[in-house]
Structure 1
Amino acid sequence: MNTYSVVVDFRRGYNRAERCLITLERLAERIDGDVERWLIVDRPRLSLGKLAERHGARTLTLPGLARGARLNAAANCSHGEVLVFIESTSDLSDKWLYDIDQALRIQAWDALALAAERWPASVWLRRIGRARLQTQVFAVQRVWFERLGGFDPDLDSQAERDLLGRLQACHARVLQCRPEECRRSVS
């Protein structure tokens, strides 16, 4: 049984906060283990604070820091054996936490990254067919996170990619897949 610290960086995507917290509550009920929830915000918002409290989450106000530094600060405040970092704008299945639990606990992966294709907003660029993969969920065993010193505190959009690369360079067992492929990979 793992304990999880789920961190959602709400620098953007505030309008999805309630839906995200409701989903996290449902997901936490489906796994064997405790799930603590952390919300990172850039400035205090009374409505988000009340929402977090209602759904058993805690908020951290971290203005002006790069994403790597924000995620490290949340990891340092949390207590879970597994750290799970979510992109706040992601639309995820209702089983993703269960799938991560299966991969990390039963199949002994050290880290898991769920990535989805993100198409550029420009119609012209879509015609070229240049989607890029964006990490939606990044889960890592705390021992590996601490062994590598966490995220590079100076990195913003590439913080997760950098840590994934360092994990692979250290021969950690890393599973990278799209959300729809994850269930097949862990079954």
Structure 2
Amino acid sequence: MGSLCFIADALVTGAMLPRHLGALHSVALESSHVQLLMTTSQPDPRLSQLESRYQARCLLTPELTLGERLNHAALSSQADWFVFACQPSCPTSAAWPKIISRLNAHKLDVLMIGMSRPGLFERLLQRFFNKPPLLPPYFAVTRSWLEKIGGFDPELDRDTLHDLLQRLQTCPTRIQCIKVPLKAPLHFHPPTDDPTPSLRRPP
């Protein structure tokens, strides 16, 4: 499988960011080839506390779109796999060994984490009502494929995660899904443009 870099944006995860880091920290403790990155456009002293507590690194990039922030984070890492948070909800700590095992055991390029692949009827309904597909809590993508498609669209903010996943699905990528227990229900809408909710009520 190689090395892993987990990237969680404070705007995307909101007040659940500490729970994301808490679950991922247990993964990082198991291997020296795991890196935890946080991205944010707004300074917050509590992020420094999270850095220290969970041995994560915070990248503060004011005035950048979400697409630019995620690209900046990916460029700062030499990992073979990137695992991006897409939702406030996250898998439980106990679910991550199963997820890592899937990345180790299967030849694939993209892993949709935390939800099953939508069926034909669900996809037709989404297309009929012109609704974007539900984002998984996380998705993993190889460095090679992230580079092949040019990374996230730097012009996009709240839609950049949907855009990247749609582009990956139109390419000849080997995509799998894995459904695991989550700490909170999934959100059906992209992140809000308001950055203030992040870390408002850390658990």
Structure 2 length normalisation: TM-score?
0.70
What secondary structure is seen at the aligned counterpart in 2 of 1:135? coil
- What is the CA–CA distance in structure 1 between the aligned matches of 2:74 and 2:18, rounded to whole Å? 22
- What is the CA–CA distance in structure 2 between the aligned matches of 1:41 and 1:50, rounded to whole Å? 14
When residues 175 and 18 of structure 1 are mapped into structure 2, their CA distance, relative to the original with a 3 A threshold, is: same
State the Cα distance separating 1:104 from its structure 2 match.
Answer: 2.5
**Is 1:20 matched up with 2:20?**
yes
Contact 1:4 1:83 in 2 (8 A): yes
State the Cα distance separating 1:115 from its structure 2 match.
Answer: 5.1
2:37 aligned partner, one-letter code: W
Contact 1:5 1:35 in 2 (8 A): yes
State the Cα distance separating 1:27 from its structure 2 match.
Answer: 2.5
Q: Which residue of 2 aligns with 1:5?
A: 5
Q: Which residue of 1 aligns with 2:141?
A: 140
When residues 156 and 175 of structure 1 are mapped into structure 2, their CA distance, relative to the original with a 3 A threshold, is: farther
Q: Which residue of 2 aligns with 1:127?
A: none
Cα deviations by residue, 1:81-132 (Å, 9 ceiling, x for unpaired): 1001113611322244333322322111101122559xxxxxxxxxxxx9x6
- What is the CA–CA distance in structure 2 between the aligned matches of 1:163 and 1:96, rounded to whole Å? 25
1:98 aligned partner, one-letter code: P
When residues 40 and 172 of structure 1 are mapped into structure 2, their CA distance, relative to the original with a 3 A threshold, is: same
Q: Which residue of 2 aligns with 1:155?
A: 156
What secondary structure is seen at the aligned counterpart in 2 of 1:11? helix
Contact 2:87 2:136 in 1 (8 A): no
1:137 aligned partner, one-letter code: Y
When residues 88 and 59 of structure 1 are mapped into structure 2, their CA distance, relative to the original with a 3 A threshold, is: farther
| Structure 2 unpaired stretches of 5+ | 117-130, 182-203
Contact 1:38 1:74 in 2 (8 A): yes
State the Cα distance separating 1:41 from its structure 2 match.
Answer: 1.5
Aligned pairs, number: 167
- What is the CA–CA distance in structure 1 between the aligned matches of 2:111 and 2:136, rounded to whole Å? 10
Contact 1:25 1:55 in 2 (8 A): yes
Q: Which residue of 2 aligns with 1:78?
A: 77
When residues 18 and 168 of structure 1 are mapped into structure 2, their CA distance, relative to the original with a 3 A threshold, is: closer
Q: Which residue of 1 aligns with 2:59?
A: 60
- Provide the aligned C-alpha RMSD in A: 2.6
When residues 47 and 33 of structure 1 are mapped into structure 2, their CA distance, relative to the original with a 3 A threshold, is: closer
Which one has the bigger strand percentage?
1
- What is the CA–CA distance in structure 2 between the aligned matches of 1:156 and 1:6, rounded to whole Å? 19
| Structure with the larger RCO, 1 or 2 (CA within 8 Å, 6+ apart) | 2
Contact 1:9 1:88 in 2 (8 A): no
Q: Which residue of 2 aligns with 1:46?
A: 45
What secondary structure is seen at the aligned counterpart in 1 of 2:47? helix
Matches within 5 A, 1:82-93: 82-87=81-86, 89-93=88-92
1:143 aligned partner, one-letter code: S
Q: Which moved more, 1:53-62 or 1:154-163?
A: 154-163
- What is the CA–CA distance in structure 2 between the aligned matches of 1:101 and 1:21, rounded to whole Å? 16
- What is the CA–CA distance in structure 2 between the aligned matches of 1:161 and 1:140, rounded to whole Å? 14
